[in-house]
Amino acid sequence: MHEVTVGMKHLADYKTVIGDERYDELRALAAAAKGRSMVHINATAYGGGVAEILQNLIPLLRDAGVDAHWWVLDAPAEFFDITKKLHNALQGMPLELSERERSLFLDVSRENAAAMPRADVVLAHDPQAVALHHFASTKAAGWVWRCHIDLTTAHQPVWSFLRPFVQEHDASIWTMPQFVRPDLGSQRVLIQTPTIDPLSEKNRGMPIADAREIVKRLGIDVDRPILLQVSRFDPWKDPLGVIDAYRLAKRNVPGVQLVMIGSLADDDPEGAEYLAKTKAHAGDDKDVHVFTNLDGVKDREVSASQIVSTIVLQKSLREGFGLVVAEALWKGIPVIGGNVGGIVVQIEDGVSGFLVSSVEETAKRAVQLLKDAGMRRRMADAGRERVRDRFLITRDLRDQLQLVASLSRAHDRTG
């Protein structure tokens, strides 16, 4: 494994966003965690929600006094084919894991564990990093596994294969209580949602005129309504269903356009295939715009697109959390999201957006919102407050500081 370089952030900059009381609480927690070391490990430095979170959280942990680092697994492409299959199976797809696949998964875990840095607390993210603890000789004060996946309908044989590795950790973190498998046992379980950074390039906002200019340069007509989905090209994000819903909505609102932006994550081998499927499904419709990071559509362009869109869609069929929902709500854009997983904790149906379960429902809600500017404004205000309350990175930082302090203290007592 190798370390990822991150930028610098200053906790003091967040004071105006979260207010004095929450800021002072963070400072007190930081004092208790100061001087401890922490390593986060995941599968990719780019693409997807976990990379997004770590890139923002690690600098803040450092500014708070924790010696925090972010390490990424080194693995051959075949390992990521296997872990994507594990991911799909945990979200409900049946999977027969071959003996060869199991041993490759374990061999790569063993090799990476041998390269582990020392730390007081290790936080391993998702199935890709779940077996590191098993093979690691590093004596950390605490090992925690964080699951970012929607496990409500996990394929049991695959979960049974992974469960013993999860159980070896001192604690596990889940986004929702419903994701915790009933046979996990007596492990310390924490429920914590992921969060967004209000001051990152993607979320700090920009003048609307700049956003319009950036989006115009992508070839989109900013004077007509825009539906936007920002997602990896992945079956669970239902890109084809998004296109079908747009087509239905267009019958009622002929001027509507659809923008789909998706990064190709390093650890997602299905990305290119689903991108091709999406483009084929869109056909030659000039009002459907599909972009990836390879087209130069990065944080600034994602942010601008979110800001100028009329409605954001996140029509997932399974979703661990869906940072893109919080990102849009924070920018005051109403979201129509799949009635699944972590989207449900972000959108209050009918208040900060709509929860939907089909293409038809998505189209119906889109038309309703496209035609009602007053409703869009009301939902936008409600959505932004919900994010401020629960889904800003300072909340994640608070949870992490508590974790570092409590695991290190427990270790001091016993070790």
The residues binding ligand UDP (CB under 6 A) are 48-49, 52, 202, 230-232, 261-263, 293, 299, 302, 321-324, 327
Q: How far apart are CA 71 and CA 54, in angstroms?
A: 10
Nearer to ligand UDP, 61 or 265 (CB): 265
- The DSSP secondary structure of 43-96, one letter per residue, reads S-SSSSHHHHHHHHHHHHHHHTT-EEEEEE----HHHHHHHHHHHHHHTT----
Of the CA atoms within 13 Å of residue 262, those in its CB half-sphere come to 25
Q: With CA atoms as reference, report the closest residue to 71 among 110, 33, 44.
A: 44
CB of 265 to ligand UDP, least distance (A): 7
Q: Which residue is nearest to ligand UDP (CB)?
A: 49
Q: How far apart are CA 334 and CA 321, in angstroms?
A: 17
Q: How far apart are CA 288 and CA 21, in angstroms?
A: 46
Nearer to ligand UDP, 52 or 270 (CB): 52
Nearer to ligand UDP, 65 or 322 (CB): 322
Nearer to ligand UDP, 113 or 304 (CB): 304
Nearer to ligand UDP, 48 or 142 (CB): 48
CB of 410 to ligand UDP, least distance (A): 31
Q: How far apart are CA 236 and CA 320, in angstroms?
A: 10
Q: How far apart are CA 87 and CA 132, in angstroms?
A: 17
Q: How far apart are CA 374 and CA 368, in angstroms?
A: 11
CB of 252 to ligand UDP, least distance (A): 28
Nearer to ligand UDP, 151 or 323 (CB): 323
Q: How far apart are CA 186 and CA 204, in angstroms?
A: 41
CB of 414 to ligand UDP, least distance (A): 35
Task: State the residue for tokens 């942010």.
Answer: 303
CB of 115 to ligand UDP, least distance (A): 25
* One-letter amino acid for residue 100 of the chain: R
The token duo for 48 is: 């997807």
Q: With CA atoms as reference, report the closest residue to 401 among 29, 18, 53, 10.
A: 29
CB of 343 to ligand UDP, least distance (A): 9
Nearer to ligand UDP, 146 or 232 (CB): 232
CB of 319 to ligand UDP, least distance (A): 7
